[in-house]
């Protein structure tokens, strides 16, 4: 049975303006833990967390998944500590988290991008995936776009309430703008919340994050390419870096809170490193012939 404190915690997150997707993810992870623990929150100890982590390992789950669930649990008990004077000490210890190396983002090659988009004939689908590729948008940000967020005069989009709850402005490339205009010509008159993209199978309904991800899975399979919505965002950042864009600019385009996150693309871009080496070495050789 789900402890009533879980719903209280979810309500707290809603009041704090967490996204519905985040609230639901926290709820699922907490239900999973308490179903295994079989105890009320006040009775949970670090040993229950130990057993939970061990079970997750036995199931072969990735370190990122286990750590995400531990973060949900830690946040939950932090909430209880504030709300109740009789709350137990937080049972989630730093040692419970699984150490993991931080992998590099996976970008698509130019050939893979061409192959993928060759499989996308639907105008709306092409427009929404071009926004991810040309503007570096997260799938959640595309799902939240409204018609009023398009600034045609400036050739830009206002991305509202992105990760970290920060608004930002991104610019439209010529092909993304053209695709968006063609898409809007076919847009139904009534779409809830004035969403930019809509569900074509359910007339008048906005297009959900899950629906976008399913579309990408289908197109990637048809094109025989390993791709995701997020890989389009990675490709956008890597392409900018390889063509000489500064890390600070890429940070703003992607909506990163820290330049450290954007610097990961510098390690990814071997082509940029190679070009810099060859150009610099030509100058060195011309001055120091041996």
Domain of residue 25, CATH code: 1.10.150.130
In a domain, 260, yes or no: yes
Average pLDDT over residues 15-25: 89
Q: Are residues 84 and 200 in the same domain?
A: no
> What is the structure's pLDDT at 263?
59
Q: Are residues 131 and 256 in the same domain?
A: yes
119, 219 in Cβ contact below 8 A? Answer: yes
Return the higher-pLDDT residue of 203 and 142. Answer: 142
- State pLDDT tens for residues 43-78: 999 999 999 998 988 888 888 889 999 999 999 999
- State pLDDT tens for residues 245-273: 776 777 777 776 665 555 565 555 555 55
206, pLDDT greater than 60: yes
Last residue of a domain, one of 74, 96, 118: 96
> What is the structure's pLDDT at 226?
92
Structural domains in the chain (count): 2
Instruction: Give the closest residue to 95 by CA, choosing from 76, 67, 64.
Output: 67
Q: Give the angle 230-231-236 at the CA atoms, nearest 5°.
A: 100
In a domain, 213, yes or no: yes
Last residue of a domain, one of 37, 64, 96: 96
Read off the pTM.
0.57
In a domain, 64, yes or no: yes
Q: How far is CA 282 from CA 178, 241, 286, 290, in A?
A: 41, 22, 6, 13
Q: Are residues 71 and 123 in the same domain?
A: no
In a domain, 281, yes or no: no
Q: Are residues 209 and 233 in the same domain?
A: yes
In a domain, 282, yes or no: no
90, pLDDT greater than 60: yes
Conformation bin of residue 94: beta by default, left when phi > 0, alpha when psi is -120 to 50: alpha
Q: What is the SS3 assignment for 22? A: helix
Which H, E and C letters describe 173-217, residue by residue? CHHHHHHHHHHHCCCCCCCHHHECCEECCCCCEECCHHHHHHHHH
Q: How far is CA 8 from CA 1, 35, 74, 211, 223, in A?
A: 15, 17, 15, 29, 45
In a domain, 128, yes or no: yes
> What is the structure's pLDDT at 234?
87
Last residue of a domain, one of 96, 119, 138: 96
Count, in order, helices (H) and strands (E) of the chain.
13, 5
In a domain, 216, yes or no: yes
- Give the C-alpha separation, 32 to 19, whole Å: 20
Q: Are residues 122 and 253 in the same domain?
A: yes
- CATH number, domain at 128? 1.10.443.10
Return the higher-pLDDT residue of 81 and 245. Answer: 81
Q: Are residues 42 and 130 in the same domain?
A: no
Q: Which domain holds residue 256?
A: 110-275
- Give the C-alpha separation, 33 to 45, whole Å: 12
**H/E stretch holding 92:** none
> What is the structure's pLDDT at 29?
93
């Amino acid at each position: 049975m789900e402890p009533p404190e879980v719903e209280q915690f979810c309500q707290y997150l809603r009041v704090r303006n967490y996204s519905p997707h985040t609230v639901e993810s926290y709820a699922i992870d907490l239900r999973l833990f308490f179903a295994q623990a079989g105890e009320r929150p006040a009775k949970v100890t670090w040993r229950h967390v130990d057993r939970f982590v061990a079970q997750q390992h036995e199931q072969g789950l990735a370190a990122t998944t286990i750590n995400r669930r531990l973060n949900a649990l830690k946040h939950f008990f932090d909430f209880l500590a504030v709300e109740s004077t009789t709350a137990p000490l937080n049972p989630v210890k730093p040692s419970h988290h699984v150490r993991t190396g931080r992998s590099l983002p996976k970008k698509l090659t130019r050939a893979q991008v061409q192959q993928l988009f060759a499989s996308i004939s639907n105008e709306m689908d092409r427009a929404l995936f071009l926004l991810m590729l040309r503007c570096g948008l997260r799938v959640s940000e595309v799902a939240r776009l409204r018609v009023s967020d398009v600034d045609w005069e400036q050739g830009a989009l206002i991305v509202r309430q992105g990760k970290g709850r920060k608004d930002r402005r991104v610019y439209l490339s010529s092909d993304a703008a053209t695709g968006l205009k063609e898409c809007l010509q076919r847009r139904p008159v009534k779409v809830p919340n004035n969403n930019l993209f809509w569900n074509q199978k359910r007339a008048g309904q906005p297009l959900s994050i899950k629906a976008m991800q399913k579309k990408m899975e289908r197109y990637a399979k048809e094109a025989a390419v390993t791709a995701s919505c997020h890989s389009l965002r990675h490709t956008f950042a890597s392409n900018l870096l390889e063509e000489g864009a500064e890390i600070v600019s890429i940070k703003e385009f992607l909506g990163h809170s820290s330049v450290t996150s954007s610097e990961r693309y510098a390690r990814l871009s071997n082509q940029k490193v190679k070009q810099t080496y060859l150009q610099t070495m030509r100058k060195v050789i011309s001055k120091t012939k041996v």
